[in-house]
Amino acid sequence: MANEEQPGESEGNDDPDAPPLTWREHWFEHNQLLSRVYYDDDVAVYYDEDMERSITWPQRICGEIWRYVKQVYGDFGDDKRLFVIMHAGKYAGGHPSTYFDASHDYRNVIDNGQMNSWADSSGWNLDILAHEIGHIVEGASKHVHRSPAFPIWRDSKWMEIFQYDVYKQLGWEAEAERWFAQMNSTVDDFPRAGTRWFRDWFFPIYRDHGETKVLNAFFELLAEHFPKRALGGGYYQYTRDLNFGEFVHFWSGAAGVSLRDLARTAFGDLDQHGRNWQEQYEQAIVDFAGVTY
């Protein structure tokens, strides 16, 4: 089932499972009346009035990524669709929301805007959409809300390996090569100056321990073992964040081998707060004995 609409043609749509024809934004500074321009079983795409209707690649790209995400990481709530919002000439950047969040009407949403053209389906235009989808994965996979690793990897480090995996596994070779080169040269100042999250941590784990499988295994282990509270209906929410030693322990569990030495090489002996994370790591082995390797 697929339905691509042009302005003025949607009034006759009688599909009972169709997403709303229009949607009024009511979050942050957003207040646009959005129009549905496309939907199928996996995505619903909404444009503001300034988006060119001739630009149709977001429905294809987001559909492919979202189907892949559900194949790898499982379902995300009762509504199987990803809601894709596109703005032209406003709201530079993007943000996500998940089926847990009242702010965006309990939908899995990526909301994207920029001052330049959306005509090109590569480079930054592609990256921002994939990036925001990655936030939905980290914050709502396995029926558990929140990302307990977010204070450690912050806004973009998980996205670096997530996007590489997506581009690679979907066969977008040029994009995967471009992204790899960009991420492999990226240097950060946390947890210490000169840290290379992709080159020295995520990519070696990905390369040596099962690629996509190890990424999913991390979230599976968190959902099974990390503290959470029930929200009802089979859904949960993590009750606290990981400390750095627990972070290394859970990634070790996902990889099936101790990553302590890799972590020392990548990050040094101290976490972002100047604490020796190796003591936390030893305690995590005791506290989460079900995470084995």
CATH number of the domain bearing residue 47:
3.40.30
Supply the pTM of this predicted model.
0.94
From 144, 160, 187, the end of a domain falls on: 144
Domain edge (last residue) among 144, 172, 193: 144
Do residue 21 and residue 88 come from a single domain? yes
Which pair of tokens denotes residue 5? 């609409």
Query: For the chain, percent helix, then strand, then coil, each to nearest 5?
Result: 45, 20, 35
Same domain, 76 and 101: yes
15 with 135, same domain? yes
How many domains does the structure of the chain reveal?
Answer: 2
Paired tokens of 218: 């991390």
Asked whether residue 292 is assigned to any structural domain, the reply reads no
pLDDT tens track of the chain, all 293 residues?
344 443 333 444 568 889 999 999 999 999 999 999 999 999 999 999 999 999 999 999 999 999 999 999 999 999 999 999 999 999 989 999 999 999 999 999 999 999 999 999 999 999 999 999 999 999 999 999 999 999 999 999 999 999 999 999 999 999 999 999 999 999 999 999 999 999 999 999 999 999 999 999 999 999 999 999 999 999 999 999 999 999 999 999 999 999 999 999 999 999 999 999 999 999 999 999 999 99
Which residue intervals of 17-155 are DSSP H helices? Answer: 57-73, 124-140, 150-153
